[in-house]
Amino acid sequence: MKLPALLDEITKTVEIDDSSANEHVLLAQKVSDLADMVGWADGPIDPQRQFAERFETLMELLRLRHAQTSEPSVAALHDVLAELHGAIDRHDRDLAVKRDADEDDEF
């Protein structure tokens, strides 16, 4: 599943008041699977930081949902989403540093 579709699915699920713990766990697994693959991306994943705001918004929605319900599955989904966000940021930053270093090496 591609990142935009996954973020859309999470948004829809979070906005449904009666979403189940099973739905949260399945989404958390999809997010975790995607996070595991970040390092394999050939280029930047979010160079314009277009997904960064979506991550922040979703994590805030999940924090609010957890405050209302205290569902552990909501907290777990929040945490793996934060891990994916961090993995993408690190990946893109590392690529930018590598490109800068490669440019400095050219004479």
Q: pLDDT (tens digit, 9 = 90+) per residue, 6-48?
A: 999 999 998 988 889 999 999 999 999 999 999 999 899 999 9
Averaged over 61-71, what is the pLDDT?
94
Calpha distance 84→62 (Å, rounded):
15
Q: Which of 74, 72, 103 is CA-nearest to residue 10?
A: 74
Q: In the prediction, which pLDDT does 101 show?
A: 54
Structure tokens at 68: 């209302």
| Dihedral angle of Cα 21, 59, 47, 1, to the nearest 10 degrees | 10
> Considering only 12-16, 40-44, 61-65, 94-98, which range has the smallest mean pLDDT?
94-98
Q: How far is CA 49 from CA 12, 26, 45, 46, 55, in A?
A: 22, 26, 9, 5, 10
The distance from CA 24 to its chain's CA centroid, rounded to whole angstroms, is 14
Q: Which helix (H) or strand (E) holds 91?
A: helix 72-105
